[in-house]
């Protein structure tokens, strides 16, 4: 995380230019015209059976997520109670729609549907009246209420880049792999050409943290051909937080790359498989119990031995990964899920290992929807085995390794308090056993580390022109026999200074713990301050302009300073980024990114 003291001064100048353009059909819409949005329309009028055990008349209001193919992919109860809510949820999962459209292009949407139940008036078979998918502004349902549709949008954190699933698999050069998108985003500079490890705004690769559904993983990409370690059909969205990231994330002094998995599929079976020259992969998901549950499995296996034997006979590369998930609705709309995943990477030189990463995660989670938010409680069991080494032809060299099991408990809460304010908060505590801790030639005895943290931030829009996100994260830990406390305040601001121009600012402090370093092939970890890790002070100022034809351009200047007190080392990075973007869901979409940065280390 901090370069060794013997290196007194080092300057890096990095220039990155990434151009990605995907052209399908030229857009015919007039520049500056507002997009025409058409609500989804339900196909069919099947009645919802009156539930056993129900008495009297009742109504249930449901929030439905309808994808671009007209399939209901998510259902949440807004109003109503069992057994009516259960009956309504089971029924609407089978509904089909003509999807919502924006300028005649199918899009995902979120609507409110009211299902009205009338008690049977005779011993005849029970019946019901199913209302069309409608949003009802009144508390009670009303016949003939016009449809109101709210098209679902992807929220982008201030100062970051959010890539939704609707775009990730369309980007040329990513080969359908959502996480490979980050390679072409501003601020990204490969450590070595062809290897999926990056300097992000000057921060070295070992300071970049990777998360899947809030679960930390040691790497996100395989070292061989570079595919991500998560099956593409399972990835819902990708976020690049180049600095001053939300308070939810911590324990890394550089950037954060975070992925979110798709919700469980409860309406249809889906499957994918692929075979390439260097690997094969498969994915499948099947709903069960009338859509109340879902089972998913995926795997990838790399067979790169033949290729490496032809071009680099002294090297051997191998990798695999797997993911499995089972989820079920327990009561109401609460969900219990078990997500198990893991990966293996190994690079050898003359049959001696020079790089190895193998990890496994088992995450048991409970999700409870709130009236206007969500609550998640989860427990994660983990095992890690990592190694990196600098090998010479004689087999000599230095190495670093971390190995051992661990466990974490975490709670995540999000709730909209008012129409202008949304609160996010959480806490976690973890224990990790290091059976092997060989760090840059310093061999530590086996030890058990403890860490914990709390965080909270507020997304506040006091007016239509201003958005503020103040936040605070507080981490405490005991690592390698030393204790530390790390307060990390953060503040992001967006102010619309003109109808199409916004100013975006992000400031924050990030802290990295001693045993959270990311291992990189053929690169030993930099020594760090074992008494207190390292603090990074990050800031960026930018201007975003919305252009005609749904285009946006953002120019950003950034600065970061990484400090380790006991080593008296400092690393400073500054630079600028330019990002021109038009969503890939448009008929003509793409982006151009440009980064110029400089890093000095003393």
Token pair belonging to 517: 């370093």
User: Domains in the chain and their CATH numbers?
Assistant: 10-24+155-601 (2.40.170), 40-147 (3.30.2420.10)
Inter-CA distances, 568 with 6, 483, 509, 524, 529, Å: 11, 19, 18, 20, 9
- Check residues 345 and 9 and name the one with the higher pLDDT: 345
Give the Cα separation of 2 and 8 in Å (integer). 12
Question: So what's the pLDDT on residue 235?
Answer: 87
- Does the pLDDT at position 81 exceed 90? no
* Contact status, residue 209 vs residue 255, Cβ threshold 8 Å: yes
pLDDT for 551 beyond 70: yes
Query: What does the alpha-carbon distance between residue 325 and residue 341 come to, in Å, rounded to a whole number?
Result: 8
pLDDT average, residue stretch 535-558: 91
Query: Is a pLDDT exceeding 60 seen at residue 376?
Result: yes
pLDDT tens across 383-404, in order? 999 888 775 544 446 778 889 9
Q: What is the pLDDT of residues 88-112, one digit of tens each?
A: 888 888 888 888 887 667 888 888 8
pLDDT of 3 higher than 50? no
Distance between CA atoms of residues 253 and 256, nearest Å = 9
Tokens 């009645």 -> residue: 47
pLDDT band at 125 (very low <50, low <70, confident <90, very high): very low
To the nearest whole percent, how much of the chain has pLDDT over 70?
78
Comparing CA positions, the residue from 372, 385, 280, 303 lying closest to residue 343 is: 385
Instruction: Give the per-residue pLDDT at 14.
Output: 44
Give the burial class of 125: count Cβ atoms within 10 A of its Cβ; 0-12 exposed, 13-18 middle, 19 or more buried.
exposed
CA dist 298 and 228 (Å) reads 13
User: Which of 229, 227, 204 is CA-nearest to residue 219?
Assistant: 229
| 325, pLDDT greater than 70 | yes
**Cβ proximity of 73 and 97 under 8 Å:** no
83 preceded by cis ω (within 30°)?
A: yes
Strongest mean pLDDT among 79-83, 181-185, 362-366, 551-555 = 362-366
The pLDDT value given to residue 525: 66
* Highest mean predicted confidence (pLDDT) among 40-49, 338-347, 544-553: 338-347
Q: Is residue 473's pLDDT more than 90?
A: yes
Looking at residue 514, what is its pLDDT? 76
- Residue range 347-373: mean pLDDT, rounded: 88
Q: What average pLDDT score do residues 192-198 get?
A: 72
* Better pLDDT: 393 or 261: 261
Q: What confidence tier does 584 reach under pLDDT thresholds 50, 70, 90?
A: low
Q: For tokens 């807004």, name the residue.
A: 78
> Considering the chain, what is the average pLDDT of its residues?
79
8 A C-beta contact, residue 468 and residue 500: no
Instruction: Name the nearest CA neighbour of 182 among 152, 148, 208, 146.
Output: 208
Helix (H) or strand (E) segment spanning residue 166: helix 165-168
Record the pTM: 0.74
Residue % of the chain over a pLDDT of 90: 30
- Whether residue 432 contacts residue 446, with contact meaning beta carbons closer than 8 Å, is answered with no
Q: Is 310 exposed, middle or buried (0-12, 13-18, 19+ CB in 10 A)?
A: exposed
DSSP 382-400: EEEEEEEE---TTS---EE
């Amino acid at each position: 995380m901090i370069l060794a003291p013997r290196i007194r001064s080092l300057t890096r100048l990095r220039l990155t230019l990434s151009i990605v353009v995907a052209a399908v059909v030229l857009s015919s819409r007039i520049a500056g015209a507002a997009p025409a949005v058409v609500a989804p329309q339900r196909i069919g009028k099947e009645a919802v059976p009156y539930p056993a055990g129900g008495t009297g008349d009742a109504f249930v209001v449901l929030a439905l997520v309808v994808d671009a193919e007209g399939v209901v992919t998510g259902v949440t109860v807004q109003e109503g109670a069992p057994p009516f809510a259960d009956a309504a949820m089971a029924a609407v999962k089978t509904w089909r729609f003509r999807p919502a459209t924006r300028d005649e292009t199918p899009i995902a949407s979120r609507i409110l549907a009211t299902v009205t139940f009338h008690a049977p008036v005779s011993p005849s078979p029970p019946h019901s009246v199913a209302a069309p998918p409608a949003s009802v502004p009144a508390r009670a349902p009303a016949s003939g209420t016009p449809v109101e549709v709210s098209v679902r949008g992807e929220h982008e954190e201030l100062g970051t880049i959010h890539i939704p699933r609707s775009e990730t698999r369309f980007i040329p050069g990513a080969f359908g792999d959502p996480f490979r998108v980050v390679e072409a985003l501003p601020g990204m500079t490969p450590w070595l050409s062809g290897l999926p490890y990056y300097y992000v705004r000057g921060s070295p690769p070992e300071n970049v943290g990777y998360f899947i559904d809030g679960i930390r993983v040691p790497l996100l990409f395989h070292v061989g051909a570079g595919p991500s370690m998560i099956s593409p059909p399972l990835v819902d969205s990708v976020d690049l937080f180049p600095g001053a990231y939300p308070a939810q994330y911590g324990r890394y002094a550089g950037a954060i790359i975070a992925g979110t998995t798709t919700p469980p599929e409860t309406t249809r079976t889906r499957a994918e498989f692929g075979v390439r020259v260097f690997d094969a992969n498969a994915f499948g998901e099947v709903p069960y119990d009338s859509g109340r549950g879902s089972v998913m499995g995926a795997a990838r296996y790399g067979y790169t031995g033949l290729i490496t034997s032809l071009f680099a006979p002294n090297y051997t590369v191998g990798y695999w990964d797997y993911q499995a998930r089972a989820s079920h609705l327990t009561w109401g709309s609460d969900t219990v899920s078990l997500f198990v995943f893991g990966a293996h990477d190994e690079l050898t030189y003359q049959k001696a290992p020079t790089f190895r990463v193998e990890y496994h995660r088992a995450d048991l989670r409970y999700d409870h929807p709130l009236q206007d938010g969500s609550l998640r409680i989860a427990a994660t069991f983990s095992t890690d085995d990592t190694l990196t080494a600098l090998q010479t032809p004689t087999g000599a060299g230095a190495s670093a390794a971390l190995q051992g099991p661990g466990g974490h408990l975490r709670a995540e809460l999000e709730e909209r308090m008012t129409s202008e304010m949304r609160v996010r908060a959480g806490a976690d505590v973890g224990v990790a056993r290091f059976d092997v801790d060989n760090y840059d030639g310093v061999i530590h005895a086996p030890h058990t580390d403890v860490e914990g943290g709390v965080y909270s931030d507020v997304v506040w829009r006091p007016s239509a022109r201003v958005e503020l996100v103040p936040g605070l994260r507080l981490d405490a830990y005991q690592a390698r026999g030393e204790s530390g406390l790390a307060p990390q305040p953060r503040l992001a601001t967006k102010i619309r200074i003109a109808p199409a121009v916004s100013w975006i600012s992000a400031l924050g402090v990030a802290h990295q713990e001693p045993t959270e370093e990311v291992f990189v092939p053929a690169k030993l970890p930099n020594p760090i301050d074992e008494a207190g890790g390292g603090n990074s002070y990050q800031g960026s100022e930018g201007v975003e302009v919305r252009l005609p034809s749904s285009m946006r351009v953002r120019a950003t200047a950034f600065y970061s300073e990484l400090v380790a007190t006991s080593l008296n080392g400092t690393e400073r990075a500054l630079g600028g980024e330019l990002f021109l973007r038009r969503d890939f869901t448009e008929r003509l979409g793409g982006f151009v990114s440009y980064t110029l940065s400089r890093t000095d280390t003393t």
